[in-house]
Amino acid sequence: MQPCLLILVRHGRTAGNRGGPGTPMSGWTDTPLDARGREEAAALGRRLAGGPAFDAVYGSPLSRALETARIAAGAWGPVRPHEGLREICCGEVDGAPLEEVKARHAALWEANLRQDDDDFRWPGGESYREFRARCLAAISAIAAAHPGQRVLVVTHAGVIGQIVGALRGVPPARWEPFRPGNASLTSLSWQGERGVLLRFDDREHVSSSTRRPGG
């Protein structure tokens, strides 16, 4: 069986990615793209249009990923939602303002920042160990369905970070080292349950088309 070439994309920017007062914990919370996020998706689409065609397009079912995929890759047919591509579930604090989470769950906030407990979870949420297993299962299933093909996968920073972290031997709780930027490209060659990282966090199209000072 031939390996599948997977092009992983983090969705474009949302209000939750801008920072500042009221920024939510946007795990499964369905925050849409903002105006700049749509610009980033369009810039990505222009770049992808200059390359080879995709045999399939998958996306997280959350609207920020689906909208990015539809803007950037509409020429390659409908986007196939895949539940395994969702961002990590933050349970009871999902969608709550970050300031509120820090105030009400100070000890948990500090524990998460330490990035040393693979079984850490927000109340009612998903542990980092569980999250990684879900991400790897999803990407392996997609690759198995498309041997020898080129597939676009539009998902979230956490999902991409867990996949790349697994390839680099970084524990699941270390969510920061491989956190890609909005609308970035990460390429993998994947066969069975193993992959090879070819490119990470390529934002050339964003740099040249949509970046503005302070963003």
The CATH superfamily holding the domain 4-209 is Phosphoglycerate mutase-like (3.40.50.1240)
For 61, the token pair is 């079912």
Q: Determine the angle formed by the axes of helices 128-145 and 157-167, rounding to 10 degrees.
A: 80
Closest to 171 measured CA to CA, from 162, 181, 179 = 162
pLDDT of 213 above 50: no
Q: What is the pLDDT of residue 170?
A: 98
What is the spatial distance between Cα 51 and Cα 53, in angstroms, rounded to a whole number?
A: 7
pLDDT of 210 above 60: no
* Lowest-confidence segment of 18-27, 34-43, 114-123, 160-169 by average pLDDT: 18-27
Mapped onto helix, strand or coil, the DSSP state of residue 15 is helix
Q: What is the pLDDT of residue 212?
A: 43
For 38, the token pair is 């749509």
Q: What is the pLDDT of residue 215?
A: 30
pLDDT digits over 34-45, tens only? 999 999 999 999
What are the helix (H) ranges across 50-168? 63-73, 98-104, 106-114, 128-145, 157-167
Q: What is the pLDDT of residue 125?
A: 97
pLDDT > 90 fraction of the chain, expressed in percent and rounded: 85
